[in-house]
Chain A
């Protein structure tokens, strides 16, 4: 609580508010003078449980609020029934309503107090002053969204939240988790006896209760360790003297998400579960929430890489899916997971090629190319084949003669890959297509035509052929080819502009009012296409910047990092976009895992109503980041 020297000249209540603000982002990064400006211009308002705080009917939002105590819930009418549903929650230290205030529009959501709530608030004038004078504050407001993503991401990474694999488990009531008959004792029991009881029952915690079975304290193995390490109290101390008093508790109808958040927030691993009268009915530990599974990537990759039969490879595919499941459940970041899927897919493709070469080697040196999402190393479980061959023409042979030998080989490989779960490409972008089985010179000419004759069809293909990578064979021929292609694109401003125009075709699915814009096809009335509407705006915009600036990698996240390094993207923007992209990807992959579990066909469509409120909020904010990225593209290419 470091106060500046001039703090002492400020009234006590101003200082107190500054101290409160300093504990929360973005205020923690703001200068004292700006905090003082906030505190001196603030009002403190009280809202009883259920009181509306801001309503859409009030018109354009004129105030900026920070929750000082209590909680605010966002509410919107449910379309199905005559009730409302909570869309988000704002808790102590958080600000609202950023989007409406900056957009100078009414709020779209009824903000209502949940429990007795105090809010600090400043008028638009003071807000504008802070916005223009304080860089951290401005950053926060503009990227408010992404700062939120920061926090969410941290939670995602944090152990607790991490394990909440699918969105369904988040909503599971605590009573569904095995609530072992909790081990309890009275406060006068010596620590040694209590620990013996914990040991006998093989648990890590014991709850101390009073005569009415109200939990009064908790003692965990960690407490024991501290006690022994400090050596202050002997082991015959009554446990009531060393326990942690007033243990956190939730009622059994609270859900796993609440429990995980509470644990993550306070860094404890056990929660009491109580009934309405606060009687102890169980204990939930971190471990209960997330049953641990071993993740063994290396082993799986080795098994795939040494499989001797196609049918082994086919059967190993289900292990890949299980691995992804468990990685997601352990909170692996979606960028890591897609890379792992890609790695395992690469291993599979290589093994299929090797097995075929063993059986029937066409005797031509070639490089196996992959395009599109596989080229970008962004494959998920739903993946089809986009591949091609770059061959070197041996002395005395024509390219057509080589093709005659290679195409039957490629066809078998394509078919076997299909058996392994890589769907045959409907657009025939496969190595067995004579147009995509080419020598280095032919590929070069192919790209010259592609770039010069930028037909609409070519532009559609840009997302496939401009994201290319070698999976098998010598990589040098591809490097030489890429070098030429990139140089040509860098010099061709018109092609860049057309690519940019194409990238801007796909708008993130938000309406002007930041509501979700649904796809219009008949089948998917309330659906969002996470791939085409969510990820594509990032992938396509980033590709334009990458190609225009000579970035060689095809991976979208790596492209963004490279663009930050080259100074094309502001570092903060780059981060926000990387995160937004990763979070959409994470939600998409979780949806895939769900569909797999339900035995449904994988699709990229989701109904946002099926998401939990946090994910819905993340998704909306991520789409907004996509809009910002597209705006940068528009400005750069002057649309």
Chain B
């Protein structure tokens, strides 16, 4: 009996992360003239049940914030979602999140609302962001009916665009991390991957500012230009 009460309390705890004002969520910022050396950027990484956004689900969200070119560790996001109904057998070996962690995780809707509030509408960077963007947008739409557009940038474009002369062993997060001698605390943990991505982003921002890139918009333009260039090479 005691054990069940304990579990129930644990679940209650996981359920509520403050009060959410659904009608008053932060406004997504368009890049406009946000200054790189001043603005807040969200570096996000998701762990999912698989690679297919149509079928698979988000199970963990890790994010860190860069503000004024500095990672602030008191401003981070590290949640496992409570989704006991999900089948995670396929991926449990990669991210190490088992059924138990999922049943004790946070209620999805709460977590997503909390994430939106925490992100505060700031631009989002992710490594191979298309993947994270699809998953997150789907989860937001299905779970809480949220469909607003946020500004996403791909950290995977950031480094080759700013360091065109560096050719690491490949395009992955690991390759760039290895090139700069970064260490992952653990790999395939949303928060740790977000941290490594954020560290690379710090390196990129340092370079961008030296290259005269001042605003998020200018940076985004540079990324898009790089992407177009890449696509041209492909044909």
Contact = CB atoms under 8 A, between A and B. Distances in A.
Contact of B199 (A39, A41, A44): A44
Interface in A24-73: 39-48, 51, 69
Given A17-B73, A43-B70, A116-B181, A12 B203 contact: no
B213 interface: no
A48 B191 contact: no
A45 B69 CA distance: 7
Interface string B202-214: 1101110010000
A13 B181 contact: no
B74 A16 contact: no
B49 interface: no
Contacts of A46: 69, 199, 202-203, 205-206
B192 A12 contact: yes
Contacts of B180: 116
Given A16-B192, A43-B71, A11 B185 contact: no
Contacts of B74: 40-41
B79 to A, nearest CB: 9
B206 A16 contact: no
B147 to A, nearest CB: 29
Q: How large is the interface on B (under 10, 10 to 19, 20 to 34, 35 or more residues)?
A: 20 to 34
Given A43-B71, A47-B206, A16 B181 contact: no
Contacts of A12: 62, 78, 185-186, 189, 191-192, 195
B78 A11 contact: yes
Q: Chain A's interface: helix, strand, loop or mixed, by majority?
A: mixed
Interface string B39-76: 00000000000000000000000101000011111101
B65 to A, nearest CB: 11
B185 A13 contact: yes
A447 interface: no
B228 to A, nearest CB: 27
Contacts of B229: none
B206 A48 contact: yes
B71 A11 contact: no
Contacts of A47: 206
Contacts of A51: 206
Nearest to B186: A12
A48 B162 CA distance: 14
A15 B185 contact: yes
A577 interface: no
Contacts of B9: none
B207 A39 contact: no
B182 interface: yes
B206 A42 contact: no
9 contacts: A13-B192, A13-B195, A16-B195, A17-B73, A44-B71, A46-B69, A46-B206, A48-B203, A118-B202
Interface of A: 11-17, 19, 39-48, 51, 69, 116, 118
3 A-B pairs with least C-beta separation: A16-B185, A46-B202, A11-B78
